């Protein structure tokens, strides 16, 4: 096979459907390509194959025995039956075995509703057990980190052991003992403190590994879910934001081969409480003649903001978690007036997940520093050069709740300040002429650009507090007042304008980003390694 | 010979000729008995030629599966890769204790066979994996290996040929499943003794990921005799009407029998004569009720079935069972078959490696039902449940431990159903109360 | 009545056991011995079973401290070592009596009266119950699965010593002879 031709393709029949897949593909993956999900427990596409649960046994013509679909590779002309009598019997057999010692505690189990044991039992239809003996019992164990182990529910699929060993390269879990005495074990003093350890909870197909953070918080079926992007660092892990009654209760990784495969780190996963904070800015405010900030309506506040900025050089101090769309509109204000844009960013230690190429908890702990840079913002180092005649727009930069040194001095000497943000730190409240309440990234939609130049969409998952408006909407209205340009009705329109105005984003269309994102076109030229330039 | 008893005239002692003879244990003693002549001869031969001779001899794997040894060896080609030979000395199939005696009495015979086998598969390194409980065999074989190194039989210049041959003894630590070849390799690599999914087969990726051949102690110990006396000589043993089972075989006999021990007979020997003449039949005043002829994993025979069987691979299949490892377990009329089958199931439940769902849960469930029946609390519906569980445990797992648990249960229920029925208790619905299942872990907690 | 398959394998720490400072195993001669063992295999992991045997020979059981030491010496994680350790029933995860008595009770021995031999050992040692260590710390008796000497029923292992054809009468004598 030469380098230019793709892998050799193999054609086979699965449940009467023709599948054409690359040589070496497993039956279980080949079946997915034709819409057949073969029930399984131990198999996970992000982990090495174990072949131990025996749930995915399928009937392959000319094979003497049922074959595990996860550990059997495709062969030309193969005919595979997933729902033959023989295969179905084997599956119901496995389910019965897995359930004999499994407690019927679904009513109090966090996994209930998203449990593969429940799902397959329902799907394969074995409602009754013939088991009459006492059930095995072992106490719940705290595995450290965010993880609890409930051995009674464990089906020994070993996904967690393989994740910690083969993906995290931190083998702190094992299978201990043997036979039906076996359980998932760990060594004393070696807890699941790895920053990637929380993935074992997602990987667990049953309720054996639980998140302490999510413990007893909600039933799976009460949750609303929407696609989003983690703001914990610049990796841009694809996530699902799960809310209950408009409150974010859990973040889960959303598969994206090109970014985070199936995983996310604990830093991102557990850092969501700020999204739900109650002290949000929820009404526009304008500083009155008496020197106090007072509530205003949006029209008045936007007019006041425009007046504050008009005729001055507008500098923008933006959050590195602002969307590309908001940053683009802010950048237009800067560009039109000759101002500059800065962002500040928190940093931490880089923590790679060794088993996945180019996946790491990044040192830059914000989602869109790359987008900011591409759009002409620079990281603020030292004192910003702000003249007394300038204006400053703070775009949700609430780092430390303090304004950067130099900005305060400039304000004292006559510079003006408009604050558009989700919260109002005291340091800003004392200085801003106008305060515009914005939605946070879970309350609006937009895009982030990750450190590899991949532009990824996030969707709205909860409603905004009070009168807060999406950042792109507010900045669009502000721009309309300042330069008489037309406003924007949709984030897609802002994105379109950005793509035509900025070479980096040219050729990209909001709709085409899908939910997995696309790389910016000259990412490579900019030294941004693009891991998967063709995937859409 | 029928060690620990005197040899019976109808035996054909080849491997067992020196059982009970302490002089055969030393290098000098082994050489005096013609030892290491075969190895010297083989080292002068091309491995492919040795593979051909072993193929022609008709030798089949003596560990239980009966795969033709020469064919297994012929999978190993001179491909320039590192090859390994593993000697499976993890003899652990209940009823089988032949390899133990080979290692205790003729350790040099094994070392010679292992060295010869390594050469025959283009390997420089061989490991003898001996189960941990075999403290004496480990000591004997280790001593033999040390002697062989000291005498230049093993080492960088094996028998002066300029070839390197290393043989290492590796001690197991208590796990029946390590007798399964891929589990043994995992164990040798320092892992849990979990059987591996095949493919890849050991000949492609075995020990340490390298092409590997794994042979039983009895198989490897036989090879030097074949090299010495020729394929025809070995192929000459066996019944005339069965060309597929040739040579001699060691049978271990235990349980309720007059003279338990190891007997070496030619393939196809009449089982009735074997039990009643060689082994002396039932104990005084007793009658044989049942026989498991090939280690605990094969179907149970009634006495009548056993007495009509022929002792080779095909003969045992014709009798509805298998030759297996040649471990013959005899039950007499005192034995409670329900209790003994429950005890067998408990063995498998204890030894399941815990990988496959069917085996991990099924062996334990089977044990619990059988022990409940044995305690007089069974119901008629338990029989159907047992057979159905057994069906779900068979042919669906990575290795055959699960099948091995189901087999004696199914044959026992079929052939001794009256004993099961006699134990049934009053039918009442049971309250299921969780109990703390004892294990090392809960004890520590 | 317990239907659990492992009832006979329960090993509990003896009452007299106290935590003593851990003495490393792999120093001096034992370290050299381990290095010789390591030279036989292409991976360090392959020396795990031999290393655990060396620990047990030295300390009589394999403690959490020993797990840490073995893991460190062989570049493995402690959890990995524990997973392997607990797979093999001959390694003790708890301290046991000075004389650790294993009586084979699998079917071939069972039909020859192995359960009576177990009872004789329990009575003679004063252990009372399988897996418990006698009050004086001298004996622990367990049932063991097939020792591979079925023709010599009932085989018994006392530490590394293998005794064939043990009868209930012989059991009492064997216990009486131990210190």
Looking at residue B164, what is its pLDDT?
96
Residue-wise pLDDT tens digits, C82-140? 999 999 999 999 999 999 999 999 999 999 999 999 999 999 999 989 999 999 999 99
Residue C1 belongs to a domain? no
pLDDT attached to residue A525:
62
Mutate to test the interface with A, among C67, C76, C77 (most CBs of A within 10 A): C77
Q: Which residue on chain C is closest to A183 by alpha carbon? A: C83
Nearest to A220 by CA among A194, A239, A200, A202: A202
For residue C75, the model assigns a pLDDT of 98
**Which tens digit of pLDDT belongs to each residue from A460-514?**
999 999 999 999 999 999 999 998 777 899 999 999 999 999 988 988 999 999 9
Non-local (6+) Cβ contacts of A119 within 8 A are: none
What's the pLDDT at B440? Answer: 40
Beta pairing class for A314-319 and A391-395 = parallel
Distance CA(B268)–CA(A377), nearest Å, equals: 89
Same domain membership, residue A66 and residue A135: no
Please check whether residues A331 and A440 belong to one and the same domain.
yes
Q: Does C70 share its domain with C103?
A: no
pLDDT at A487: 82
C140 in the same domain as C110: yes
User: Quick one: CA torsion of A241, A191, A212, A264, rounded to 10 degrees?
Assistant: 0
Specify whether A87 is located in the same domain as A148: no
Find, among B420, B397, B281, the residue nearest to B341 by Cα: B420
Indicate whether C6 belongs to any domain: no
Give the architecture-level CATH label for domain B337-421.
Up-down Bundle (1.20)
Cβ atoms A427, A412 nearer than 8 A: no
The total number of structural domains that make up chain A: 3
For residue B357, give the nearest of B388, B391, B402 by alpha carbon. Answer: B402
Cβ contact, residue pair A65, B396, below 8 Å: yes
Kindly list the partner chains of chain C, i.e. chains with 3 or more CB atom pairs below 8 Å. Answer: A, B
Q: Are the beta carbons of A138 and B358 separated by less than 8 Å?
A: no
Whether residue C17 is predicted with pLDDT greater than 80 in this model: the reply is no
Query: Can you tell me the distance from the alpha carbon of A313 to that of A327, in angstroms, rounded to the nearest whole number?
Result: 17
Q: Which of residues 197-226 of A touch C (CB under 8 A)?
A: none
Same domain, A331 and A394: yes
Q: Which residue of B has its CA nearest to A130?
A: B385
Yes or no, beta carbons of A178 and B354 under 8 Å apart: yes
Beta bridge partners of A185: A174
Of residues B190, B331, B364, nearest to C84 (C-beta): B190
Q: Are residues A57 and A110 in the same domain?
A: no
Contacts of A90 in chain B (CB under 8 A): 392, 396
Q: Are strands A67-68 and A391-395 parallel, antiparallel or unpaired?
A: unpaired
Say how many domains are in chain C: 2
CATH class label, B248-332: alpha beta
pLDDT of residue A403: 83
Nearest to B261 among C93, C112, C151 (CB): C151
Quote the CA–CA distance of A99 and B123 in Å, as a whole number.
Answer: 47
Compare CB distances from B171 to C53, C147, C162 and report the shortest one's residue: C53
Contact status of C75 with chain B (Cβ, < 8 Å):
no
| Binary contact (C80, A174; C-beta < 8 A) | yes
C-alpha B124/C-alpha B141 separation (Å) is 19
Q: Are residues A390 and A462 in the same domain?
A: yes
Which residue, A392, A351, A388, A396, is CA-closest to A372? A396
Contact A341, A334 (CB under 8 A): yes
Residue A443 lies in a domain: yes
Residues in chain B closer than 8 A to A66 (CB atoms): 395-396
Choosing from A195, A222, A249, the residue where a domain stops is: A222
Q: How confident is the model at residue A4 (pLDDT cuts 50, 70, 90)?
A: low
Same domain, C104 and C69: no
Chain C residue with the nearest C-alpha to that of B296: C107
Q: Collect all residues of chain B within an 8 Å Cβ-Cβ radius of residue C111.
A: 255-256, 329-332, 335, 340
Which of A279, A277, A233, A237 is closest to A255 using CA atoms?
A: A237
Distance CA C167, CA C160 (A): 19
Contact A176 C86 (CB under 8 A): yes
Contact between residue A116 and residue A203 where contact means Cβ atoms under 8 Å apart = no
Confidence at residue A354, expressed as pLDDT on a 0 to 100 scale: 97
Query: What residues have CB less than 8 Å from C71, skipping those under 6 apart?
Result: A187, C77, C78, C80, C81
d(CA A287, CA A302): 13
**Percentage, residues of chain A above pLDDT 70:** 96
The stretches in chain B having pLDDT less than 70 are 1-2, 427-445
CA A499 from chain centre, in angstroms, equals 24
| pLDDT-derived band at A398, boundaries 50, 70, 90 | confident
Bridge-partner residues for B168, per DSSP? B127
Option in A71, A94, A130 nearest B358 (CB): A94
pLDDT on residue A6: 82
Contact partners, residue C116, CB within 8 Å, separation at least 6:
C168
CATH assignment of the domain containing A13: 3.10.20.740
Confidence of residue A38 (pLDDT cuts 50, 70, 90): very high
Residues of B in contact with A52 (CB under 8 A): 355-357, 398
A150, A210 Cβ separation under 8 angstroms:
yes
A185 lies in the same domain as A330: no
Q: Measuring CA to CA, how many Å separate C69 from each of B332, B338, C41, C80, C92?
A: 51, 47, 20, 13, 16
The verdict on C64 touching A (C-beta cutoff 8 Å) is: yes
DSSP state for residue A136 in the 8-state scheme: P
Same domain, C108 and C80: no
Please indicate, yes or no, if residue C38 is contained in any of the structural domains. Answer: yes
Short-list A176, A248, B216, A307, CA closest to C82: A176
Query: A141 to chain C, minimum CA–CA distance in Å?
Result: 15
pLDDT at A328 over 60: yes
Q: How far is A322 from chain B (nearest CA, A)?
A: 49
Residue A292: exposure state from Cβ atoms within 10 A (0-12, 13-18, ≥19) = exposed
What ipTM describes this predicted complex?
0.93
Q: Does A179 touch chain C (CB under 8 A)?
A: yes
CATH number for the domain spanning C152: value is 3.40.30.10
- Do the Cβ atoms of A25 and B364 come closer than 8 Å? no
Q: Other C-beta atoms within 10 Å of C16: how many?
A: 11
Q: Residue C67 falls within a domain, yes or no?
A: yes
Is C13 among the domain residues? no
Q: Could you give the CA distance from residue B293 to residue B156 in angstroms, rounded to a whole number?
A: 43
Instruction: Answer yes or no: do A340 and A363 share one domain.
Output: yes
CA nearest A133: which of A106, A99, A105? A99
Contact: C81, A179; criterion CB under 8 Å:
no
Is the separation of the CB atoms in B80 and B178 below 8 Å?
Answer: no
Residues A87-110, mean pLDDT to the nearest whole number? 95
Cβ neighbours of residue B426 closer than 8 Å, sequence gap 6 or more: none
| Cα A336 from chain centroid (whole Å) | 35
Which string of DSSP letters, residue by residue, matches B140-174?
HHHHHHHHHHHTTSSBTTGGGSS--BEEEEEE--S
- The answer to whether position A273 is within a domain reads no
- Give domain status of residue C16, yes or no: no
Domain-embedded: residue C150: yes
> Residue A535 pLDDT more than 80?
no
Tell me which residues of chain A have a C-beta less than 8 Å from any C-beta of chain B.
Answer: 49-55, 57, 65-66, 68, 71, 89-90, 93-94, 96-98, 100-101, 130-139, 155-156, 175-183, 185
Give yes or no for a contact between B232 and B225, defined as CB atoms under 8 angstroms apart.
Answer: no
Could you tell me the CATH number of the domain that includes residue C74?
1.10.10.1590
Under a CB-based contact definition with an 8 Å cutoff, are residues A248 and A268 in contact? Answer: no
Q: Are residues A63 and A165 in the same domain?
A: no
A316 and A217 share one domain: no
C94–B contact, CB cutoff 8 A: yes
| Residue A13 reports pLDDT greater than 90 | yes
Strands in B288-292's sheet, in edge-to-edge order, are B261-266, B248-255, B327-332, B288-292, B301-302
Question: Looking at the complex, does the CB of residue C34 fall below 8 Å from at least one CB of chain A?
Answer: no
* B34-235 CATH fold: Rossmann fold (3.40.50)
**Are C77 and A179 a contacting pair at CB < 8 A?**
no
CB contact (8 A) between residue B361 and residue A175: no
The residue out of A172, A189, A222 marking a domain boundary is A222
Helix, strand, coil distribution of chain B in percent, nearest 5: 45, 15, 40
Domain that holds residue A115: 105-222
- A235 near A368, Cβ under 8 Å? no
pLDDT at A402: 80
B286-319 pLDDT, tens per residue?
999 999 999 999 999 999 999 999 999 999 999 9
Closest CA relative to residue A220, chosen from A106, A362, A49: A106
Give the Cα separation of A31 and A54 in Å (integer).
17
Q: Is the dihedral of CA C113, C115, C119, C121 positive or negative?
A: positive
Last residue of a domain, one of C20, C53, C85: C85
Residue B149 sits at the chain A interface (C-beta within 8 Å): no
Angle (CA) A121-A124-A130 rounded to 5° is: 60
Give the pLDDT confidence of C96-106 residue by residue, as tens digits.
999 999 999 99
DSSP A34: T
pLDDT at C6 over 50: no
B184 phi/psi in degrees, rounded to 5? -60, -45
Size of chain B in residues: 445
Q: Does some domain include residue A1?
A: no
Residues C81 and C107 in one domain: no
Q: CB-based contact (8 Å) between C39 and chain A?
A: no
Task: Give the start-to-end residue ranges of the domains of chain B.
Answer: 34-235, 248-332, 337-421
Nearest-CA distance from C25 to chain A in Å?
19
C165 and C103 in a single domain? The answer is yes
**C64 domain residue, yes or no:** yes
Kindly report whether the peptide bond that precedes residue C154 is cis, defined as omega within 30 degrees of 0.
yes
Average pLDDT over residues A254-272: 96
Q: Name the neighbours of A, counting chains with at least 3 Cβ pairs within 8 A.
A: B, C
Position A399 scores a pLDDT of 72
Burial A158-175 (b: 16+ CB within 10 A, else e): bbbbbbbbebbebbbbbb
Regarding whether A71 and A121 lie in a shared domain, the answer is no
Task: Report how far residue A518's alpha carbon sits from residue A258's, in angstroms, rounded to the nearest whole number.
Answer: 10
pLDDT of residue A520: 84
Residues A294 and A154 in one domain: no
Per the CB < 8 Å rule, is B192 touching C9?
A: no
- What is the C-alpha end-to-end distance of chain A, expressed in Å? 26
Q: What is the band of A125 on the pLDDT scale with cuts at 50, 70, 90? A: confident
Residues 40-59 of C with CB under 8 A from B: 40-43, 45-50, 52-53
The answer to whether A175 contacts B192, with C-beta atoms less than 8 Å apart, is: yes
Cβ separation C110–B172 shorter than 8 A:
no
Residues from chain A that touch B352, judged by Cβ atoms under 8 A, are 178-180
Whether C28 and chain B come into contact, CB under 8 Å, resolves to no
DSSP B61: -
Domain that holds residue C67: 28-85
Of A40, A65, A94, which residue constitutes the final position of a domain? A94
Which member of B175, B192, B349 has the closest CB to residue C5? B349
Q: A interface mutation test: which of C71, C83, C88, C92 has the most A CBs within 10 A?
A: C83
Which of chain C's residues have a Cβ under 8 Å away from the Cβ of B208? Answer: 41-43, 46
């Amino acid at each position: 096979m030469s380098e230019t031709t793709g892998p050799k393709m193999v054609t086979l029949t699965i449940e009467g459907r023709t599948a054409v897949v690359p040589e070496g593909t497993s039956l279980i993956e080949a079946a997915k390509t034709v819409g057949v999900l073969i029930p399984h427990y131990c198999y996970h596409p992000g982990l090495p194959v174990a072949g131990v649960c025996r749930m995915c046994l399928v009937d392959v013509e000319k094979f003497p025995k049922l074959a595990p679909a996860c550990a059997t590779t495709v062969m030309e002309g193969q005919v595979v039956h997933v729902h033959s009598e023989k295969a179905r019997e084997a599956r119901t057999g496995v389910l019965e075995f897995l359930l004999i010692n499994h407690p019927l505690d679904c009513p109090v189990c966090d996994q209930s509703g998203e449990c593969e044991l429940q799902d397959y039992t329902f799907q394969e239809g074995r409602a009754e057990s013939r088991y009459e003996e006492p059930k095995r019992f072992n106490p719940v164990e705290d595995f450290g980190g965010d993880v609890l182990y409930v051995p009674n529910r464990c089906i020994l699929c070993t996904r967690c052991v393989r994740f910690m060993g083969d993906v995290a390269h931190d083998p702190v879990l094992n299978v201990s003992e043997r036979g039906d005495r076996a359980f998932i074990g760990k060594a004393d003093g070696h807890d699941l403190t790895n920053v990637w350890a929380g993935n074992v909870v997602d990987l667990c197909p049953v309720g054996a590994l639980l998140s302490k953070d999510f413990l007893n918080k909600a039933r799976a079926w009460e949750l609303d879910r929407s696609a989003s992007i983690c703001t914990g660092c610049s990796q841009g892990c694809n996530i699902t934001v799960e809310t209950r009654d408009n409150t974010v209760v859990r973040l889960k990784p959303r598969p994206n081969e090109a970014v985070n495969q199936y995983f996310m780190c604990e830093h991102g996963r557990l850092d969501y409480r700020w999204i739900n904070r109650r002290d949000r800015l929820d009404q526009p405010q304008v500083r009155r003649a008496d020197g106090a900030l007072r509530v205003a309506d949006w029209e008045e506040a936007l007019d006041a903001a425009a007046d504050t900025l008009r005729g001055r050089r507008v500098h923008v101090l933006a959050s590195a978690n602002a969307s590309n769309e908001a940053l683009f509109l802010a950048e237009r204000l800067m560009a039109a007036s000759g101002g500059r844009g800065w962002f500040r960013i928190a940093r931490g230690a880089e923590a790679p997940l060794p088993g996945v190429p180019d996946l790491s908890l990044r040192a830059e702990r914000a989602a869109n520093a790359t987008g900011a840079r591409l759009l002409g913002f620079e990281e603020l180092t030292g004192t910003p050069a702000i003249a007394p005649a300038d204006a400053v727009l703070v775009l949700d930069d609430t780092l430390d709740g303090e304004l950067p040194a130099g900005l305060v001095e400039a304000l004292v000497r006559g510079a003006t300040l408009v604050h558009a943000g989700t919260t109002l730190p005291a340091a800003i409240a004392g200085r801003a002429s106008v305060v515009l309440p914005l939605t946070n990234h879970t309350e609006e939609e937009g895009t982030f650009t990750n450190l590899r130049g991949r532009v990824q969409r996030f969707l709205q998952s909860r409603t905004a507090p009070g009168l807060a408006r999406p950042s792109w909407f507010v900045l669009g209205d502000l721009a309309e007042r300042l330069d008489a340009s037309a406003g924007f009705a949709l984030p897609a329109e802002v994105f379109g304008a950005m793509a035509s105005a900025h070479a980096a984003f040219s050729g990209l269309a909001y709709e085409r980003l899908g939910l997995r994102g696309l790389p910016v076109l000259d990412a490579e030229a900019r030294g941004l390694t693009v891991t998967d330039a063709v995937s859409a | 010979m029928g060690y620990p008893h005197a040899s019976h005239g109808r035996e054909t002692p080849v491997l067992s000729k020196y059982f009970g003879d302490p002089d055969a244990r030393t290098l000098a003693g082994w050489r005096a008995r013609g030892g290491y002549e075969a190895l010297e001869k083989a080292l002068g031969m091309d491995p492919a030629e040795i593979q051909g001779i072993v193929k022609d001899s008709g030798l089949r794997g003596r560990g239980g599966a009966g795969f033709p040894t020469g064919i297994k060896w012929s999978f190993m080609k001179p491909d320039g890769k590192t090859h390994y030979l593993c000697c499976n000395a993890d003899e652990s199939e209940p009823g089988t204790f032949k390899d133990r005696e080979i290692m205790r009495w003729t350790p040099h015979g094994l070392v010679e066979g292992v060295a010869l086998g390594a050469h025959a598969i283009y390997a420089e390194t061989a490991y003898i994996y001996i189960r941990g409980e075999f403290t004496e065999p480990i000591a004997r074989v280790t001593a033999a290996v040390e002697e062989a190194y000291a005498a230049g039989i093993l080492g960088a210049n094996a028998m002066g040929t300029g070839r390197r041959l290393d043989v290492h003894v590796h001690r197991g630590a208590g796990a029946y499943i390590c007798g399964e070849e891929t589990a043994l390799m995992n164990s040798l690599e320092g892992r849990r003794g979990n059987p591996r999914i095949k493919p890849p087969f050991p000949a492609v990726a075995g020990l340490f990921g390298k092409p590997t051949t794994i042979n039983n102690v009895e198989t490897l110990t036989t090879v030097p005799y074949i090299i010495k006396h020729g394929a025809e000589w070995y192929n000459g043993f066996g019944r005339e009407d069965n060309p597929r089972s040739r040579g001699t075989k060691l049978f271990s006999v235990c349980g309720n029998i007059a003279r338990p021990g190891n007997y070496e007979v030619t393939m196809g020997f009449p089982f009735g004569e074997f039990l009643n003449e060689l082994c002396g039949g039932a104990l005084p005043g007793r009658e044989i009720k049942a026989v498991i002829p090939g280690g605990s994993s094969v179907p149970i025979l009634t006495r009548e079935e056993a007495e009509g069987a022929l002792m080779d691979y095909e003969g045992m299949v014709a009798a509805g069972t298998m030759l297996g490892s040649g471990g013959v377990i005899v039950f007499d009329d005192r034995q409670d078959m329900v209790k003994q089958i429950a005890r067998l199931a408990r063995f498998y439940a204890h030894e399941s490696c815990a990988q496959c769902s069917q085996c991990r849960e099924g062996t334990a469930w089977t044990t619990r039902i059988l022990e409940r029946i044995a305690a007089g609390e069974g119901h008629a519906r338990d029989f159907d449940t047992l057979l159905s569980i057994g069906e779900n445990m068979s042919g669906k797992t990575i290795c055959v431990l699960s099948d091995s648990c189901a087999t004696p249960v199914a044959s026992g229920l079929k052939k001794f159903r009256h004993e099961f029925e006699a134990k049934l208790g009053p039918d009442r619905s049971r309250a299921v109360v969780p109990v703390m299942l004892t294990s090392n872990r809960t004890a520590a907690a | 009545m317990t239907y659990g398959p492992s009832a006979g394998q329960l090993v509990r720490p003896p009452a007299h056991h106290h935590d003593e400072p851990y003495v490393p195993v792999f120093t001096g001669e034992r370290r050299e011995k381990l290095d010789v063992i390591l030279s036989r295999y292409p991976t360090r992991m392959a020396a795990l079973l031999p290393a655990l045997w060396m620990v047990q020979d030295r300390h009589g059981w394999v403690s959490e401290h020993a797990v840490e030491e073995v893991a460190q010496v062989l570049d493995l994680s402690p959890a990995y070592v524990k997973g392997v350790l607990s797979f093999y029933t001959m390694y003790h995860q708890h301290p046991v009596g000075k004389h650790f008595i294993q009586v084979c009770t699998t079917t071939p021995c069972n039909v020859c009266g192995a359960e009576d031999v177990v009872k004789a050992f329990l009575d003679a040692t004063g252990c009372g119950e399988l897996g418990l260590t006698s009050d004086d710390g001298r004996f622990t008796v367990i049932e063991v699965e097939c020792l591979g000497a079925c023709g010599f029923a009932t085989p018994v292992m006392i530490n590394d010593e293998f005794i064939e054809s043990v009868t209930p009468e012989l059991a009492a004598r064997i216990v009486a002879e131990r210190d």
